[in-house]
Structure 1
Amino acid sequence: MSEKPTSIVPLLRKALERIRSTPPRVIASPPTQPRRAAVALIIRVVPPPHVVVDQTHCPSLAEFFEQDWVSDPFARPEILFLQRENQTAPEDSGMSRVRNNKEAHVAFPGGRTEADDEGGLYTAMRQTWEEIGIDLAEKDYTCVGQLDDREITTSLGKRLLMILSPFVFLQVTPHAAAPDPVAATTLHWTPLASLVSANPPPKWSTVTVDAASRIAPKHSTALRLLVQALVGSMEFPAIIVEPSSVSPVTPDGKPAHDMEKGFKPPQQLKLWGLSLGMTLDLMSYMVHPSPTESAEPRSGASSPLSPIMQLPYQTGAEGIRMDIVAPSLASVFPRFSYPDVNMWIWRVLFPVFGKRYREVVRGWEASVRGGGVNDRRINWSGSALSTFYAAIRKALVLVIVARALGIIFGLGFAVWWVFRT
């Protein structure tokens, strides 16, 4: 007899109930940049294989989790990611990266708000229907709520591009109409347990980004080559996604399994950047920090949300645990390909330039521990990211100058030594 698995349905129920009862932090678009976008985080629960579900009505959120087939230990909660072929990044967004043909990046369905859209929720639903053929207005789905708005900026936060609003949807019936994605788009239903379970833990990896694409002007080839030589590349945290079901299509819209020749070998799917941040925002609702919990990191802890979330431990400031404040903020912390660059930025310069950042994060932590009712009007994440990026830009400039002077001094010394001997 097989052992019953540990179900994460109670954690999912806790998260969705908290999202429904918690007002999101809404960021108003500044007059200079009115562009907005919205995405849909779609969750479903797959019935156990040994259970036949005969559901005749669409339950409420509370009723949904009271059903026997949902609370069954073998029920499998899943979240929907999609993979876009030849995906292009927003202009000047700094998403250019060192291309790796063996990996692909996943995201959520959604896109920019159009002039006729009635709001962010309408945008998320319209874009989902147009892109993957899922009608979130049908009775099979319910909108649980909205996560906090997020700011999309250019490379290293130099300029605001748009405001992004994530909306969470739950499929409240065991079976819904099959999706119909546009050409060259693949849907990946991924078990939530693979993201939040402690046994086995999520598989963490990295995505390599060309540092020059985030620092130097895109039209200055010489400067980009110089920065690339002096700084190298940047590595960002990523989760390897292992979907339970896939719906691939070819560029002409036909199912990929119908192709007799030229089938593209599967790529390693990675969740990173903005999509990873929103996923971690969702997962953070599965735990609730205690006001009396110590802010000091546990000795030897490899994950701040252990055993629920296996986020690689990264502090935002001395004595502050990012799992308590905002786990998604840790997804923006890069590592550089040159060890000395890492040492100078994270050990020497960031502690000096990051004073304002540490003050913002401490204020954020105090808000979270105090319940955050009034301070939810404050854009803590935007303030933290802007001060973080400002400190990183200053540190990078000094590192580039120092490495350039070091190279010049070294070459000068070598020339002097050659002529001296």
Structure 2
Amino acid sequence: MDSSQDPHPHPHSPGLSPHLHNVLTDLHRRPYPHVPNPPLCKKRASVALILRVRPTYDHWPSPTDIDIGDPELSVEDRLDDFFAQPWVKYGDPEVLFIKRASRPGDRWTGHVALPGGKRDPEDEDDKAAAIREASEEIGLDLTTDDCICVGNLPERVVTTSWGSVPLMVLCPFVFITTRCDSPMLRLQPTEVASTHWIPLRALLSSSLRTVEHVDMSQRFARQGGFLTRLAVRSMLGWMQFSAVRLLPAETVQCTSIPGFVPDEQSDKGSSSSLIQRFKSWLIRGDLNRPLLLWGLTLGILADFLDMLPPHTTVQQWKYPTFTAPDLRFIVSILTYNLRKRNARMVKSGARSTSDTALDAETAALSVTPGSNTSKHDDNEVGIGGLGVGRYYGPSDRASDGTSYAVGIMLRGYYQRLRVAIYVFIAWRMALGSAAAIAGWRLIRRRLR
């Protein structure tokens, strides 16, 4: 077995670092094109995918072994020099995530995400926005000599969850720090609750694949109040999304956020508000759920991770569905042919563009210059975990502009999902009507 595919590699065998080197070099050589804003959508946002290599116990560097590199060299030369160091070659690559602070009305409250935010008018470009947001949210300067800006990942148009209204263009950028120690992070209390360095090995592990359950009643019954939402929730159940359970190698908590240390009043109130706690459980679920990567952020990471051995990240990704058994069955039936067709497109696309990837099974599809932004992709892919966002731009693979594996797999899926919900509602109404008629007949017989 290839040591890079072994979840527990031998300490004297190179791990993922050589493969990461190839991926980063490829991303720098073939940057994804700029995606303009769709009509009536002016907002842009950027996120920073920040990587580092943690030294292992058997290959710990001495002060004389550490070389942050010459910033005057080209990016490829800097990457070559960095990954040539023994402690890097045998090190453990990691990705930095944040857990957002809990804020009322925030769509992403408490979610695991990448550092980032909206582009301001004073930002020179999208990359400058990612650098500024990383500095403001976690206090990490990505412009220092010990940090390399590698390139970007596909830009995507983020839409409303069940609509086609574009909200913003999301631009992910990839950075790697050449330091061997942990940088001091300064977390902004109103934005970030904690930061977590997650090993790539953990993100690639099939044993950490799980699901996230999301209450969709708020989207279907916005004006109906608690009882309406409860009725919708009891009928539809939870919506289920593919997720990865995160195992942090290092965590930094923002201890200054309100509620980090419970006070006496909040502690007393917790035992007397059983109704509120029951209501919270019915609507929002368990607030102490484990640290999960899912939704939009998982979509950004999926294709990047699929370039790394064992190249199964996209295969492990599961389509969104519902927990109600009959609705789940209807979704499965109505989307069966579409899922098979999209899977074949991903597989054939990866093979035909292997010159741009690490091997024949990667989902990093090539793009060519051109313009194809006028055609609107009808996939309802939004920020609430409904998919991974959309990439509008030139592509040599698809007429609608999608050129990343998860985007191709989701093509047309949400249209079928909406139809499945309509069929499910009709089925439940028919079933309820039949049960009511049978009950009424039974009552009439007994009354005679």
Q: TM-score range by the shorter chain?
A: 0.7 to 0.9
Question: What's the CA shift for 1:81?
Answer: 0.8
Does structure 1 residue 233 correspond to structure 2 residue 238? yes
Aligned partner of 1:4 among 11, 19, 26: 11
Taking a change above 3 Å as real, the CA distance of residues 40 and 251 of structure 1, as seen in their structure-2 partners, is same
Aligned to 1:408: 433
Deviation digits for residues 202-246 of structure 1 (CA, Å, limit 9, x no counterpart)? 4122211113234x2522336544432322211111111111111
8 Å contact 1:44–1:170 — kept in the other structure?
yes
**Partner residue in 2 for 1:125:** 131
Q: Report the CA distance shift for 1:178/1:275 in structure 2 as closer, same or farther (over 3 A).
A: same
Equivalent residue, structure 2, for 1:398:
423
Which secondary structure state, in structure 2, belongs to the residue aligned with residue 393 of structure 1?
A: helix
Paired AA for residue 412 in structure 2: T
The one-letter code sitting in structure 1 at the alignment partner of 2:125 is G
Query: Which residue pairs with 1:39 in the alignment?
Result: 47
For 1:206, the equivalent position in structure 2 comes to 211
Write the mapping of 1:239-250 to structure 2, written as runs, cut at 5 A.
Answer: 239-250=244-255
> Is the contact made by 2:221 and 2:232 (CA closer than 8 Å) also made in structure 1?
no
Alpha-carbon separation, structure 2, partners of 1:172 and 1:105: 28
1:356-404 deviations in whole A, cap 9, x for unaligned? x876765565444322444626522567646221121112112112212
Give the one of 271, 288, 293 matched to 1:271: 293
Contact 2:217 2:232 in 1 (8 A): yes
Q: Is the 8 A contact 1:36 1:162 kept in 2?
A: yes
Q: Does 1:341 align with 2:349?
A: no
Name stretches of at least 5 consecutive residues in structure 1 with no aligned partner: 97-103, 288-306, 312-321
State the AA in 2 paired with 1:339.
P
**Which whole-Å CA distance do the structure 2 matches of 1:112 and 1:220 have between them?**
32
8 Å CA contact 1:128, 1:134 repeated in 2: yes
Counterpart CA distance in 1 for 2:289 and 2:336 is: 39
Q: Does 1:84 align with 2:100?
A: yes
Give the drift of 1:281.
2.0
Q: Does the residue aligned with 1:28 lie in a helix, a strand or coil?
A: coil
Superposed counterparts of 1:382-393, under 5 Å: 385=410, 387-393=412-418
CA RMSD of aligned residues (A): 3.2
Q: Which amino acid aligns with 2:173?
A: F
Matches within 5 A, 1:167-316: 167-175=173-181, 177-183=183-189, 185-197=193-205, 201-214=206-219, 216-221=220-225, 224-252=229-257, 268-286=290-308, 307-309=310-312, 311=313
Q: How do 1:60-139 residues align onto structure 2 when only pairs under 5 Å count?
A: 60-72=78-90, 75-87=91-103, 105-139=111-145
The answer to whether the Cα contact below 8 Å between 2:55 and 2:180 also exists between their aligned partners in 1 is yes
What is the one-letter code of the residue matched to 2:323? S
* Separation (CA, whole Å) in 1 of partners of 2:236 and 2:257: 41
> Alpha carbons of 1:151 and 1:358: their partners in 2 closer, same or farther (altered >3 Å)?
farther
Cα separation, 2, equivalents of 1:363 and 1:26: 24
Cα pair 1:53 1:174 within 8 Å, conserved: no
Q: Indicate conservation of the 8 Å contact 2:123/2:129, yes or no.
A: yes
Distance 1:410 1:359, change over 3 A: same
Amino acid in the other structure paired with 1:273: G
Contact 1:205-1:239 within 8 A present in 2 as well: yes
Code of the residue aligned with 2:291 in structure 1: it is L
For the pair 1:420 / 2:445, whether they are aligned, the reply is yes
Query: Counterpart in 1 of 2:351?
Result: 369
**Cα offset, 1:3, TM superposition:** 5.1
Change (3 A) 1:390 1:159: farther
Rounded Cα–Cα distance in structure 1 between residues aligned with 2:302 and 2:249: 20
Are the counterparts in 1 of residues 158 and 169 from structure 2 also a CA contact under 8 Å?
yes
Which of these residues, 62, 66, 81, is aligned with residue 52 of structure 1? 62
Decide whether the 8 Å contact of 2:68 with 2:146 is kept in 1. Answer: no
Task: Check whether the contact 2:154–2:171 (CA below 8 A) recurs between aligned residues.
Answer: yes
- 1:223–1:401 distance in 2 versus 1, CA, 3 Å: farther
The one-letter amino acid of 1:411's match is: A
Change (3 A) 1:212 1:267: closer
Distance 1:89 1:111, change over 3 A: farther
Distance 1:153 1:418 in 2: 51
Q: How many residues align?
A: 361
Q: Distance in 2 between matches of 1:362 and 1:368?
A: 10
Given the two structures, how large is their TM-score scaled by the length of structure 2? Answer: 0.71
| Structure 1 CA distance for aligned equivalents of residues 105 and 127 of structure 2 | 23
Structure 2: tracts of 5 or more residues without a match: 1-8, 71-77, 268-286, 354-365, 369-393
Residue 151 of structure 1 and its aligned partner are, at CA, apart by: 2.5
Match in the other structure for 2:25: 17
Aligned sequence identity (%): 28
In 2, Cα distance between equivalents of 1:170 and 1:129: 15
Which SS does the other structure have where 1:181 is aligned?
A: coil
Once the two structures are superposed, what CA deviation does each residue of 1:118-150 show, in whole Å capped at 9, x if it has no partner?
Answer: 221111111100000001011111111101112
Offset at residue 165 of structure 1 (A): 0.9
Equivalent-residue separation in structure 1 for 2:188 and 2:169 (angstroms): 25
In structure 2, C-alpha distance between the alignment counterparts of 1:252 and 1:273, rounded to whole Å: 25
8 Å contact kept, 2:32–2:367? no
1:386 and 1:34 map into 2 onto residues whose CA distance is 25
CA–CA separation in structure 2 for the residues paired with 1:385 and 1:84: 27
The whole-number CA distance in structure 2 between the counterparts of 1:23 and 1:116 is 24
Comparing 272-281 and 44-53, the one that deviates more: 44-53
Determine if contact 2:321/2:331 at 8 Å carries over to the other structure. Answer: no
Task: Indicate the SS of the match to 1:205.
Answer: strand
Q: Distance in 1 between matches of 2:298 and 2:123?
A: 26
